[in-house]
């Protein structure tokens, strides 16, 4: 069943812990429930993209490495994911097929969002799949991902995919009702936070850091993904995967479905989203007050003349935080010089720089002023 080109689009992400059993293997019934929800969403006229984890979980039993035999080293886990990816997509194809829907596998890596040509290819493929009525089933390309340039969880990929396809809603399915005011295992009075307008440090503290034994994310990664979506104009709902009708309710704004993170009025482009939220910081640059004012008010490039201090050791092309003399981080960017070169020439005017050294420490196109 094809869906019209102008149809609303939803991106639904589910983690490993929500589609595996207690032994850590893929639970077909759980995948089936998810696909039932996808079909229900399609029946409302929406297009749907599924972002799923679970390739490693699908591969472990085939290789006799389940339970206590689960490997820990990255290379073996990547090999396991190569085996499991086929089984995972087969399960999705069969379960979506019960509803007359076709699944199309799309494996993505961080560079698919960062390199412009790759970004356009990914967007074109996903858009065409949706136009053809296919349900794209997206996962990180774990089998060949470089540890230095990988996401490690699919929450952020889901947020970037939501931006990529122009989705109106990102649904992050988890094992809890949403973001709670406290850890319910420690505080019986913990309650659901139903709406978030701006994600701040206090909320990030509530989210904690840990994921489950079987998953790589956790509430912290979901809140980080919601922040990406928030800055790209996409409404996010964090909700319980086991809740009846959760996907339709999330997309139609049903009260109490989970934690709703509202989008900002202004949004960032794909490259700036990557710089701000998807790539980790390798170090920090401290700038003087005048440089901060210029960066915030005029959105110009950062020159070595405005640099006061350089912290960390990194190569050219790394992402760094930019802070003022008080230590307040107000921007992030891709630096054009390695840390040693920039440190040696911090504070120097452009005319005093050595021949061949780029005049910008961070070019305006590679700089994002943060909230």
pLDDT of residue 145: 66
pLDDT digits 0-9 by tens, 151-199: 557 898 999 899 999 999 999 999 889 998 887 777 888 899 999 988 8
Rounded to whole angstroms, how far apart are CA atoms 230 and 322? Answer: 22
pLDDT of residue 148: 46
Q: Model-level pTM?
A: 0.82
Domain 9-272 top-level CATH class: alpha beta
Q: Give whole-number Cα distances, 276 to 8, 50, 162, 168, 236, in Å.
A: 27, 24, 16, 21, 18
pLDDT of residue 152: 57
pLDDT of residue 1: 45
Tokens of 270: 């794909």
Tokens of 31: 């995948």
- Among 279, 276, 243, 273, which Cα is nearest to 259's? 243
pLDDT of residue 128: 97
Q: What's the CATH fold of domain 280-369?
A: 2.30.130
3-state class of 130 per DSSP? helix
Cβ(235)–Cβ(260) under 8 Å? Answer: yes
Rounded to whole angstroms, how far apart are CA atoms 366 and 317? Answer: 10
Rounded to whole angstroms, how far apart are CA atoms 1 and 230? Answer: 31
pLDDT of residue 147: 53
Rounded to whole angstroms, how far apart are CA atoms 10 and 114? Answer: 22
| Stretch (H or E) spanning 352 | none
Question: Can you give the residue ranges of every domain in the chain?
Answer: 9-272, 280-369
Below-70 pLDDT ranges, the chain: 1-7, 145-152, 208-217, 278, 371
Sole residue written with tokens 């701040």: 200
Rounded to whole angstroms, how far apart are CA atoms 327 and 259? Answer: 32
pLDDT of residue 190: 84
Identical fold at 9-272 and 280-369? no
């Amino acid at each position: 069943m094809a869906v019209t080109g102008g149809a609303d689009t939803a991106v639904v992400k589910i983690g490993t812990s929500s589609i595996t059993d207690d032994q850590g293997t893929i639970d077909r019934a759980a995948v089936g429930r998810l696909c039932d929800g996808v079909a229900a969403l399609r029946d409302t006229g929406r297009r749907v993209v599924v972002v799923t984890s679970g390739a490693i979980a699908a591969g472990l039993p085939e290789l006799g490495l389940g339970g206590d035999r689960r490997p820990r080293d990255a290379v073996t886990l990547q090999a396991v994911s190569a085996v499991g990816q086929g089984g995972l997509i087969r399960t999705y194809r069969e379960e979506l097929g019960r509803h007359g829907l076709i699944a199309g596998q799309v494996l993505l890596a961080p560079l698919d969002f960062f390199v412009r040509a790759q970004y356009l290819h990914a967007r074109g493929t996903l858009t065409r799949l949706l136009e053809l009525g296919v349900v794209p089933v997206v996962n990180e390309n774990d089998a060949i991902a470089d540890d230095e340039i990988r996401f490690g969880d699919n929450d952020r990929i889901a947020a970037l995919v939501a931006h990529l396809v122009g989705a109106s809603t990102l649904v992050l399915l988890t094992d809890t009702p949403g973001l709670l005011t406290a850890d319910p295992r420690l505080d019986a009075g913990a309650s659901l936070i139903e709406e978030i307008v701006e994600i701040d440090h206090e909320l990030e503290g509530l989210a904690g850091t840990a994921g489950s034994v079987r998953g790589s994310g956790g509430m912290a990664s979901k809140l980080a993904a919601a922040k990406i979506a928030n800055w790209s104009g996409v409404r996010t709902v964090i909700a319980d995967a086991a809740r009846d009708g959760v996907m339709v309710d999330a997309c139609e704004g049903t009260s109490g479905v989970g934690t709703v993170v509202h989008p900002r009025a202004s949004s960032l482009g794909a490259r700036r989203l990557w710089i701000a939220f998807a790539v980790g910081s390798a170090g920090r640059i401290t700038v003087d007050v005048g440089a901060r004012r210029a960066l915030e008010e005029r959105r110009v490039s950062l020159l070595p003349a405005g640099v006061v201090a350089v912290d960390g050791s990194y190569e050219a092309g790394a992402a760094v935080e930019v802070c003022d003399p008080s230590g307040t981080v107000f921007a992030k960017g891709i630096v054009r010089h390695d840390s040693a070169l920039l440190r040696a020439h911090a504070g120097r005017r452009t005319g005093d720089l050595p021949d061949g050294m780029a005049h910008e420490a961070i070019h305006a196109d590679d700089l994002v002023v943060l909230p």
